[in-house]
Amino acid sequence: MLLAVVVNRAAMALLTLAGVAVVVFVLLRVVPGDPVSMMISPGASAADIAALKAHYGLDQPLLIQFWIWVKGVVAGDFGVSITLHRNVTEVLADRLPATLELAALALVVAVALGGSVAVAGTLMRRSAGEAVIDGLNSIMLAVPDFIWAMALVLLFVVAIPVLPLTGRIDPVLAEGFRTKFYLVESIVTGRFALAGNVLSHMAMPTVALALPLAAVIVRLLKQSLKEAMVQDYVLLARIKGFRELRLVLQEALRNAVGPTLALTGVQFTFLIGGTVIVERIFAYPGIGNLAIDAVINRDFPLIQGLVLLFGFIFILINIGVDITVAALNPRLRHA
Amino acid sequence: MTMPRLAIEALSAVSLRDGNRPILRRVSLVVGTGEVHGLVGESGAGKSTIAKAILGIIPSQVRVTSGRIGFEGRDLLSLSSGELRAVLGRDIALVPQDPSTALNPARRIEAQMTDGLRLKRGFSAAEARRRARALLDEVQIRDPDGVLASYPHQLSGGMRQRVLIAAAFGLEPKLVIADEPTTALDVTVQKQILRLIRALQERHGTSVLFVSHDLGVVAKICDRLTVLYMGKVMEQGSTAEVLTSPRHAYTRALLAANPRYDRPDAGLEPTPPAVVAALRAEIAAFDASAAGAADG
Amino acid sequence: MEYRAPQPATAAVDDARRPPSVAVRLARDPKVVCAGGFILVLIVLALAAPLAAPQDPLAQNLLMATVPPVGFTGAEPGFPLGTDGLGRDVLSRVIYGTRVSLTVAFTAAGLACLIGSLLGLVAGFFGGVGDALISRLVDVWMAFPPVLLSILLIAVIGTGLHSVILAIVVIDWTRFCRVVRTETMGQAQMDYVVAARAIGFARPAILFREILPNIAPVLIALLTLEMGIAVVVEAILSFVGLSVSSDTPTWGGMIAEGRQIVHEAWWVLAAPLAALFATVVAFNQLGDGLARSLDPVLRR
């Protein structure tokens, strides 16, 4: 049954997440470099260092530290960020909406773009047009979001200066929000000019993240569509007199989406991972940007919180993909 | 003499892959209004090619070299794809061979039965649904609402074929091409399906081109026959004539080779070598004269 | 029975119909030729950098800072692609940057391939407990987001070229392991392996003499792709400041710097970006072309 499969997968994933958390916890403390050494000024005495370490609980045995942390996690307390001096939960809740909006928008753009090109390529199959699409797509599959981001900067900040380089919104306008979901809130409350401003800041990071995913979608979906188009039921529909585009959308697409979905889901987790560098490039205040600083500064509580958060997001994505694949397959729904 | 529904005149086709090997050799046949016309022949005789030519789905490695397919006063071969698309579905429909692959596994039966009606006859969703229900009644499906809500994998092969037949006739076309519609079914189900097709055909006055390799099947349902061998028409006439007093050696050989369930003792007779040789000679002579006519 | 006009009797098998050798096949594929050629040029540039570069990549000249490339007003001869914020020649730094990128590409990808393939071969061929352990390990490993993991690793191990290589190997060996394991399992079931076992060949011998050559095409293609990925990872790590010291020219480092001064001197970003783009695409297309030309099944 569908529910059983999902629960099973979720349990496995949570176990893996727990394992990852343990590994990261241990790794951070075992290998040289700790937050205290990142913070102290050169002239600090040994006593000062020891006091700081005790302050952050870093002088305790490993197991004790772990136990304290786990107790906190179970109760919903992820500790206090050493560099930001705030609750880790607070920091994450503050920054997560920005990344969620970015990832969601990138997903929408990737699906729309990738889907359209895949359909176009299917309509043009066995013609020169398809060869062009395949060739371009082949190159696009090679290029990571990092390169796209930089290229977009050159294009829209230098060559045709129309987009802002950094941030999420013009600082002046940042005051009027109740939630941290700037884009959603501004659209929902009808403040479209404000939404436009947010979008102009999101445009480049979104496109940079979306293009690699779109390229993967084009390759997978086009392949599945072409396989579906030679099936008998498409032939019968053609004999009923339907046009080519209608055949692709009405008959082939729903059969082609399933095989595409699983690998697209995997690729989407890469997109989430990509926010780490893309947010950095555009100084976009999300959790990705947070991660780099946290790691460089060895902010243990923050790093651990981020690892758990990213892991949790990946689990959700995988479950979401599993559910969608099952939902789309009539054989699984009505056995 | 009423105008025939379908008039194929001297249709010839070659296979481009095999160095222009002839697939159809000046085939002519006529299907009248309300007539069930059987197109009989062994595998590779060219029956499917004729059906595909009518429907405009000839594969790219086959080329029609001459001939005409007259339908409603127009030559189907000369129509543009747009014009052909207008004819298909409205005036010509297909009952396909394999019910397990001819239905889209991801769409409900209702959608697959009503989309043609809505596109070609301008039905509204509600009208189309009523019509589909009525059609399922006609093909004697017991739970039409249930079937409409189902997906293909939830139905048996026989039921799927009934759905396909209902869908084909439901469009009220002038011509239905039935491409070996009983081949993929159990023998027990075959008879029912044949009776169904006949009943629908009589009720709607549709002409049917019934393609089959099985003389026994064809005997039950067809008014007239065309016997095809290696793309050439060997014999044509009313079913009764062709089967009881066949004029061509091939037809006789075909009849003899058919297992007769009512005469289980009668053995199967393989085609005598003399007949095979004579057939080969006939084909060769045809090809030679066709080549000569082309050169001359 | 099909009637067919008699064919003219054919002579002995035509020489031209024997399958062409590997070298010929590779030479015929446009992707392999173009991409491979480009990478050869890069290798030459890296090796002959002192000869190819017009200037000393480390020489700072604050009087000549942010000079635009040739073709724009204010350009200086001798600095074809302009200079950066410290007056260093961009072209020379890009050329020297190939050294770091290619070193990382070949070393990291090679090591990841070696380790991953060995484990994959073992898992796929011998199966059992070893396979279960290795597969589990791979699954858990792949649950980490790659970028985060690499940054974490470097922050933990420390910066430097060795760290970058190590980080890439540690993260990407799983890619090779999975593919090789699947391929090996597929090959191990084939008739020729069963036959070899029946004749009495020892398992390791079969592994290396029979299965490995059949897996080689996939492996080579994957290796080439991995090189492209390694170049990008190095650039990203340089960008974040976690690669080699900032004096040594790297494309990522130049990109980071270029981004900071993008309004004043866009060429400092554009030049290394173009080099990176071309290199990544070249490795990718080479991998594609190799996969197609070397695979006896795909080839038509």
Tell me the chain C residues in contact with residue A307 when contact means C-beta distances shorter than 8 Å: 148
Q: Is B280 on the interface with C (CB under 8 A)?
A: yes
What is the distance between the alpha carbons of residues B159 and B140, in angstroms, rounded to a whole number? 9
User: In this predicted structure, which of A54-58, B236-240, B283-287, C33-37 has the lowest mean pLDDT?
Assistant: A54-58
Please, which pLDDT band fits residue C106 given cuts at 50, 70 and 90? very high
- DSSP-derived secondary structure letter, A252: I
- Which residues are CB-contacts of B50 (< 8 A; sequence separation ≥ 6)? B8, B11, B24, B27, B39, B211, B228
Which of helix, strand or coil describes residue B13? strand
CATH code (residue C230): 1.10.3720.10
CB contact under 8 A, A20 and C288: no
What is the distance between the alpha carbons of residues B171 and B121, in angstroms, rounded to a whole number? 8
Please, which pLDDT band fits residue C138 given cuts at 50, 70 and 90? confident
- Best to test chain C binding among B21, B232, B286 (most C CBs inside 10 Å): B21
What is the distance between the alpha carbons of residues A335 and A261, in angstroms, rounded to a whole number? 21
User: How confident is the model over C163-184, as pLDDT tens digits?
Assistant: 888 888 988 888 888 888 888 8
Mean pLDDT for all residues in chain C: 82
Q: Tokens at residue B10, please?
A: 């001297």
Which of helix, strand or coil describes residue C71? coil
Q: Does some domain include residue C297?
A: yes
In a 10 Å sphere around its CB, with 0-12 CB exposed, 13-18 middle and 19+ buried, how is residue C71 labelled? exposed
Which of helix, strand or coil describes residue B248? coil
Tell me the chain A residues in contact with residue C152 when contact means C-beta distances shorter than 8 Å: 24, 27, 295, 303
Q: Is B21 on the interface with C (CB under 8 A)?
A: yes
Q: What is the CA radius of gyration of chain C?
A: 25
What is the distance between the alpha carbons of residues C232 and A45, in angstroms, rounded to a whole number? 42
pLDDT lower than 50: segments of chain A:
none
Taking a C-beta distance cutoff of 8 angstroms, is the pair A212, A148 a contact? yes
Q: Does some domain include residue B281?
A: no
In the predicted structure, residue C3 carries a pLDDT above the cut 60:
no
Nearest-CA residue of chain C relative to A287? Answer: C148
C213 versus A192: which is more confidently predicted?
A192
CB contact under 8 A, B21 and C4: yes
Tell which C residues from 70 to 129 touch A, by Cβ distance under 8 Å: none
CB contact under 8 A, A296 and C146: no
Tell which A residues from 244 to 303 touch B, by Cβ distance under 8 Å: 250-251, 254-255
How many residues comprise chain C? 300
Q: Is C285 on the interface with A (CB under 8 A)?
A: yes
- Which residues are CB-contacts of B187 (< 8 A; sequence separation ≥ 6)? none
The residue type at C296 = P
User: How confident is the model over A214-224, as pLDDT tens digits?
Assistant: 999 999 999 99
The residue type at A137 = N
What is the distance between the alpha carbons of residues B28 and B284, in angstroms, rounded to a whole number? 19
Among candidates C147, C158, C277 on the partner chain, residue whose Cβ is nearest the Cβ of A277: C147
Q: Does some domain include residue C242?
A: yes
What is the distance between the alpha carbons of residues B165 and A236, in angstroms, rounded to a whole number? 12
pLDDT at B261: 57
**Helix H or strand E encompassing B14:** strand B6-15
Tell me the chain A residues in contact with residue C146 when contact means C-beta distances shorter than 8 Å: 270, 273
In the predicted structure, residue B197 carries a pLDDT above the cut 80:
yes
Q: Does some domain include residue C30?
A: no
Q: Does some domain include residue C265?
A: yes
Q: Is A334 on the interface with B (CB under 8 A)?
A: yes
- The number of beta carbons lying within 10 Å of the beta carbon of residue C87 is 17
Chain C residues contacting B via beta carbons under 8 Å:
1-5
What is the distance between the alpha carbons of residues A10 and B98, in angstroms, rounded to a whole number? 41
Nearest-CA residue of chain A relative to C145? Answer: A273
Tell which A residues from 73 to 92 touch C, by Cβ distance under 8 Å: none
Q: Does some domain include residue C124?
A: yes
Q: Tokens at residue A28, please?
A: 């951070």
Among candidates B87, B101, B153 on the partner chain, residue whose Cβ is nearest the Cβ of A232: B101
Tell me the chain C residues in contact with residue B44 when contact means C-beta distances shorter than 8 Å: 2
What is the distance between the alpha carbons of residues C105 and C251, in angstroms, rounded to a whole number? 13
Share of chain B above pLDDT 90, in %: 45
Q: Does some domain include residue C72?
A: no
C203 versus C53: which is more confidently predicted?
C53
Q: Does some domain include residue B34?
A: yes
Q: Looking at residues B259-264, what average pLDDT do you find?
A: 61
Taking a C-beta distance cutoff of 8 angstroms, is the pair A282, A149 a contact? yes
| Distance of alpha carbon B13 from the chain centroid | 18
What is the distance between the alpha carbons of residues B246 and C89, in angstroms, rounded to a whole number? 95
Å between C291 CA and nearest CA of chain B: 29
- The number of beta carbons lying within 10 Å of the beta carbon of residue A334 is 12
- Using alpha carbons, select from B67, B6, B55 the residue that is nearest to residue B231: B67
Please, which pLDDT band fits residue C9 given cuts at 50, 70 and 90? very low
CB contact under 8 A, A255 and B105: yes
User: In this predicted structure, which of B183-197, B256-270, C282-296 has the lowest mean pLDDT?
Assistant: B256-270
Tell me the chain A residues in contact with residue C144 when contact means C-beta distances shorter than 8 Å: 20
CB contact under 8 A, C3 and B21: no
- Strand order through the sheet with B36-40: B92-95, B175-179, B207-212, B36-40, B224-229, B232-238
- Best to test chain C binding among A26, A150, A293, A298 (most C CBs inside 10 Å): A150
CB contact under 8 A, B106 and A255: yes
Q: Does some domain include residue B166?
A: no
Å between C35 CA and nearest CA of chain B: 35
CB contact under 8 A, A154 and C269: yes
End-to-end CA distance of chain C: 30
Q: Does some domain include residue C275?
A: yes
Among candidates A236, A241, A243 on the partner chain, residue whose Cβ is nearest the Cβ of B90: A241
> What is the tally of structural domains in chain B?
1
Tell me the chain C residues in contact with residue A32 when contact means C-beta distances shorter than 8 Å: 158
Q: Does some domain include residue C94?
A: no
Domain that holds residue C275: 104-300
The residue type at C263 = H
Q: Does some domain include residue B126?
A: no
What is the distance between the alpha carbons of residues A80 and C184, in angstroms, rounded to a whole number? 48
Q: Tokens at residue B132, please?
A: 């589909």
Q: How does B179-204 read in b/e, with b if 16+ C-beta sit within 10 Å?
A: bbbbebbeeebbebbbebbbebbeeb
In a 10 Å sphere around its CB, with 0-12 CB exposed, 13-18 middle and 19+ buried, how is residue B274 labelled? exposed
- What number is the ipTM of this complex? 0.86
A8 versus C39: which is more confidently predicted?
C39
CATH code (residue B196): 3.40.50.300
| Distance of alpha carbon A195 from the chain centroid | 21
User: Which residue has tokens 């302050």?
Assistant: A55
Q: Looking at residues C13-23, what average pLDDT do you find?
A: 60
Three-state DSSP string of C189-215: CCHHHHHHHHHCCCHHHHHHHHHHHHH
- Using alpha carbons, select from C110, C124, C105, C112 the residue that is nearest to residue C215: C124
pLDDT at B114: 92
CB contact under 8 A, A142 and C259: no
CB contact under 8 A, B284 and C2: no
In a 10 Å sphere around its CB, with 0-12 CB exposed, 13-18 middle and 19+ buried, how is residue A30 labelled? exposed
- Using alpha carbons, select from A44, A47, A25 the residue that is nearest to residue A34: A25
Taking a C-beta distance cutoff of 8 angstroms, is the pair B149, B109 a contact? yes
Q: H helices of B139-267, where?
A: 144-149, 157-170, 187-204, 215-221, 239-244, 249-257
Q: Does some domain include residue B146?
A: no
The residue type at C30 = P
- DSSP-derived secondary structure letter, A249: I
Tell me the chain B residues in contact with residue C5 when contact means C-beta distances shorter than 8 Å: 287
Å between B271 CA and nearest CA of chain C: 12
Domain that holds residue B89: 4-105+173-246
In the predicted structure, residue C139 carries a pLDDT above the cut 80:
no
DSSP string over B94-128: EE-S-TTTSS-TTS-HHHHHHHHHHHHS---HHHH
Which of helix, strand or coil describes residue B260? coil
Share of chain C above pLDDT 70, in %: 86
> What is the tally of structural domains in chain C?
1
CB contact under 8 A, B276 and C1: yes
Nearest-CA residue of chain A relative to B103? Answer: A233
Q: Is B107 on the interface with A (CB under 8 A)?
A: yes
User: In this predicted structure, which of A41-45, B259-263, C151-155, C266-270 has the lowest mean pLDDT?
Assistant: B259-263
Instruction: Please state whether beta strands B224-229 and B232-238 pair in parallel, antiparallel, or not at all (unpaired).
Output: antiparallel
